[in-house]
Structure 1
Amino acid sequence: MALQWDGGPSCYPARSVVHRNRLARETRKMLRLFPDSLDAVPFHLIYSLPMRFAIHLLVVFALFFVFGCATPPEVEPPVPEVPEISDDPDEPDAPVDPVEEAYEAVSLAVMLGKPQEAIEAFEAAQLADPGAPETQVLLAHLYLAAGDLAGAETLLQEVLEANPKDGDALFSLALIAGARGESRQEQRLLEELLEIDPKRPEALAALGEVQLRSRRFDPAERSFLAALDHDPRNSTALLGMGNLALRRSNPSRAEQYLDRAIEAAPDIPRGHADRSRARAIQGKFAAAEADLNRAVELEPDFLWHYYDRGVVRMERNNFAGALDDFNRVIDRDPSLFMAFVYRARAYDQKGEGDLAMADYKTALELRPDYQPALAPLGVLKFEAQQFSEAAERFQAALEKGNPNDPTDYGLLLLTSLSLKMAGEEARARRYLEERGRDFAGSGLYADMARYYANPGSDAFIYRQVTREEDRFTRLRASFYLAGQYEVLGRLDSARALYLDIIDADIRGLMETRLARRRYEQLRGDS
């Protein structure tokens, strides 16, 4: 039989208040530790950041409850007298307090992360007395933990009808409005609450979040700092200040605030994820990866932690680890084109050219306008001696580039060289004629373009290349001259120039990489 309690609020013994307060704490803890119970909530309180930060809002929502839902003042129970132990086995046991037993049942369900069972036990025991707003708010929080926004809202509205200035109810309704994307309603409720209680830190922090989402950075900062004035360990405000510092390109300051946020709330994944960004921007990649490892431990089903960790591992040259992370991301969401781009780079670094090309191709199918993937794919095609396709990729990279960016003369020449390597000499010359104006004022590159168009005597162009003072330009031009030698069948001259470029070993130049590959291929053919 379900436990019953017929008394009103005045009938609660002191220990029942303690049970109620303890249950409130456990409920808020469950909201923090079991955020999956809120999966039904349509969270689109999204910052104007990359998507990997949008779902962190789930944790922020739970965090508000951890610090935001006030409970009735705790009344410490009197020190119990030590009962005398009777020797009479027939003496009846002391009666069980039904309220205490009811709260124990509800607390157990909460601690097990089963909000629906907690609701059923709560209601069966008739603990939610309509005349006691604190129990109504507590029950509303159980509904929220179960993902029932409508049920929670109904209870909270009933509380406000009886007491329009109930701060807990106003705050909870503001959070529900935010979860539904009703930012104006959320802000209105928070401002109404702050008129009643202007020093309430969780309301100030929540208002700062609303202002941050709407990119009102100065008001957001004022709200966060006001919250911290009243509660220096308010993790929502500390996270907000850290995020704000990141937006203002101040990663060092962001890290300081996020250090404090993590100290205040070490089990909130968003704090570790945001601090990893701040650390990565500063080049602290080992520390950034450690933060993301912790975020993964706390929130193993959140794919953006794996994505971010994969990016950091790329920076640390841990390509195998990066592949593990990007594989997981792609398995979960194959629509994320940047995951394919990064995985392609990881495959490329491990010498898996075919797999890298396949991933670049998939990325471009998902996002055809993503210009930065075109030249790397062209390089892979060139290395695989798929010269016609390489030319198409290089040409597309030029056409889709920012018109305000300086012309990449190397890509122009590489497009022409790819066509020459494919045996399309006439098309290569025609391409250079069409792009001739682009070489105006380019010095050695213009000289090389003229030589490509009419590859007769190489005396002039060879002299121009060897006399070039700029080392980078000289080595790049040496590659294009070596390529033309190869087309003309002058393989010894080509190998000699390729070897010079390899010996110079300028990392980051695609011509260095291509020279190494062409030298290996020519040596294998000899």
Structure 2
Amino acid sequence: MTTVYRPNVRSNTRPGLFPSLLSTLVLLGAVALPTQAQPIRVEIDPSIKPQNPELLLKPLLDNAEAALKARRFDDAVRYYQSATEYEPDNERHLPRRWALAQSQRGDFRASAEAFRRAIALDSNNADFHAGLGFALGNLEEYDQASQAYRKAIAQDSKKYDAYVGLGSVLQRQKRFDEAATVYTQLKSLQPRDWRPYEALGTILIQKRKYAEALPLLQQAEGFAPSNGRIQLSKAVAFLGLNRPSEGASALEKAAVIERTNAQIFFKLGEVYQIMGQGQKAFEAFRTAVKLQPDFLEAQSAIGKLLMAERDYPRAMIVYRQILEKSPKDADAYFNLAIALRARDRVSEAVEALTSAQRFFKEQGNREKLAETEKLLKELR
């Protein structure tokens, strides 16, 4: 049974505020109705507007905030969207809340539109411009994101999250010198925050200046000793300096801090391989695949380890699993063929090599294509 809420309709009960307020609270779920044989669903009749919309606004906002805290982002967006219909003309913060709820549920296009609406109401609000920059950055519209962040900084020269966002966007665009300038400004704003030090270290790593990066990363670690991202960056710097044991130590710390990060375990496996610790590498790669079942690079690394140990039956299983997920993986076909040949399963090896030949040709990989064709001639 559906009950349609019609504001300002006369009631047979005693006149006054209580009946209309009760209807409003029932509409918003703030008052529980007695249990009925069939559930009652209360809806707003969109053709009728209440005389006093302010009565609806606060409960809607309260429900939206509660939904956000419970991480029910779709509900939060719905409540905020409803609230905009009853919003007083001079309200400035509601569009921002709506936009943030859209961002939290991952709808960055809707978030950007909502922040633009907020900016139309108040073009001098640094929060609105920073929020727009965040949404556009996640949409990979980097030039517009940079512009939005710069406007936020122009409105508020101490707008820390705008500097962080701008630096990140510039880094993604590989505009490293500009990004470094932004992060240096960040250091002066918050000298004990780990983020600018880690970001500057990462920029130096991208420039292959590993020795210069390491002191900055160690400073970042001093401010945030339990940060897995810093440990990962340190590991990359150590590896760039050909110091694999220290790289492994940093990655082991990162793996303890971020136990569900598949990339950390994959990188750890690679370092163990460099150090000749095959069993540890195998375990690290296997953990990466458990955490991220579609991590084909980690599966391929397991396959190569098994091939090196001449464990061809298990290697074949791994490569077939890869091909189930990536049926055009030429390397997987090639390695599967090698394993099949080692087990004297020649016809199956030829079939796998024929597929590898086709896909290497599509890739334009002449070196691997020549190797595949040479092996095919040997088997035919």
TM-score tier (shorter): 0.5 to 0.7
Aligned pair partner of 1:400 in 364, 367, 370: 367
Q: Deviations over 1:152-209 (max 9, x none)?
A: 3343223222321211111111111111121121122223333334453332332222
CA contact (8 A) 2:265 2:285 kept: no
Q: Equivalent residue of 2:71, what SS?
A: coil
Q: Which structure has the higher relative contact order (CA within 8 Å, separation 6+)?
A: 1
Q: Provide the rounded CA distance (Å) in 1 between the counterparts of 2:235 and 2:58.
A: 45
Aligned pair partner of 2:290 in 328, 338, 349: 328
**1:186 maps onto 2:148 in alignment:** no
Aligned pair partner of 2:68 in 85, 107, 110: 110
CA contact (8 A) 2:108 2:139 kept: no
Q: Provide the rounded CA distance (Å) in 2 between the counterparts of 1:360 and 1:204.
A: 45
Q: Give runs of aligned pairs for residues 145-160 of structure 1, distance below 5 A.
A: 145-160=104-119
Alignment correspondent of 1:144: 103
Task: Please tell me the residue identity of whatever aligns with 1:110.
Answer: L
Task: Please tell me the residue identity of whatever aligns with 1:295.
Answer: E
Unmatched tracts of structure 1, length 5 or more: 5-97, 404-410, 425-526
**1:289 maps onto 2:247 in alignment:** no
CA contact (8 A) 2:234 2:250 kept: no
Alignment correspondent of 1:368: 330
Q: Once structures 1 and 2 are overlaid, which stretch shifts more, 121-130 or 168-177?
A: 121-130
Q: Deviations over 1:278-334 (max 9, x none)?
A: 3554312133122034223xxx3x64344334434545431451352254367335x
Task: Please tell me the residue identity of whatever aligns with 1:114.
Answer: R
Note the C-alpha offset of 1:263.
6.1
Task: Please tell me the residue identity of whatever aligns with 1:216.
Answer: R
Q: Equivalent residue of 2:293, what SS?
A: helix
CA RMSD of aligned residues (A): 4.8
Task: Please tell me the residue identity of whatever aligns with 2:330.
Answer: P
Alignment correspondent of 1:218: 177
Q: Provide the rounded CA distance (Å) in 2 between the counterparts of 1:150 and 1:218.
A: 29
TM-score (norm 1): 0.46
The number of equivalent residue pairs is 304
Task: Please tell me the residue identity of whatever aligns with 1:289.
Answer: E
Q: Deviations over 1:195-235 (max 9, x none)?
A: 33445333233222222222222122112111222222455
CA contact (8 A) 1:276 1:288 kept: yes
Give the 3 Å change call, closer, same or farther, for CA 205–349 of structure 1 in structure 2. same
Q: Provide the rounded CA distance (Å) in 1 between the counterparts of 2:80 and 2:225.
A: 30
Note the C-alpha offset of 1:251.
3.7
Alignment correspondent of 1:237: 196
CA contact (8 A) 1:329 1:339 kept: no
Task: Please tell me the residue identity of whatever aligns with 2:108.
Answer: L
Give the 3 Å change call, closer, same or farther, for CA 120–370 of structure 1 in structure 2. closer
Task: Please tell me the residue identity of whatever aligns with 1:285.
Answer: A
Q: Give runs of aligned pairs for residues 239-258 of structure 1, distance below 5 A.
A: 239-258=198-217
Taking every aligned residue pair, what percent have the same amino acid on both sides? 15
Q: Equivalent residue of 2:258, what SS?
A: helix
CA contact (8 A) 1:170 1:190 kept: yes
CA contact (8 A) 1:153 1:173 kept: yes
Q: Equivalent residue of 1:171, what SS?
A: helix
Q: Provide the rounded CA distance (Å) in 1 between the counterparts of 2:224 and 2:92.
A: 28
Note the C-alpha offset of 1:254.
3.7
Q: Give runs of aligned pairs for residues 279-428 of structure 1, distance below 5 A.
A: 279-281=238-240, 282-283=243-244, 284-296=247-259, 300=260, 303-315=262-274, 316-317=277-278, 318-328=280-290, 331-333=293-295, 336=296, 338-348=297-307, 351-356=310-315, 359=318, 366-368=328-330, 400=367
Give the 3 Å change call, closer, same or farther, for CA 161–235 of structure 1 in structure 2. farther
Q: Provide the rounded CA distance (Å) in 2 between the counterparts of 1:139 and 1:258.
A: 37
Alignment correspondent of 1:277: 236
Q: Provide the rounded CA distance (Å) in 2 between the counterparts of 1:171 and 1:266.
A: 29
CA contact (8 A) 2:217 2:230 kept: yes
CA radius of gyration, larger in: 1
CA contact (8 A) 1:201 1:226 kept: no
CA contact (8 A) 1:204 1:224 kept: yes
Q: Equivalent residue of 1:400, what SS?
A: helix
Q: Provide the rounded CA distance (Å) in 2 between the counterparts of 1:293 and 1:367.
A: 33
CA contact (8 A) 1:190 1:203 kept: yes
Alignment correspondent of 1:170: 129
Alignment correspondent of 1:59: none
CA contact (8 A) 2:109 2:135 kept: no
Task: Please tell me the residue identity of whatever aligns with 2:150.
Answer: E
Q: Deviations over 1:264-291 (max 9, x none)?
A: 6678764454444335543121331220
Q: Equivalent residue of 1:158, what SS?
A: helix
Task: Please tell me the residue identity of whatever aligns with 2:367.
Answer: K
TM-score (norm 2): 0.60
Q: Deviations over 1:406-444 (max 9, x none)?
A: xxxxx9xxx99x97xx9x9xxxxxxxxxxxxxxxxxxxx
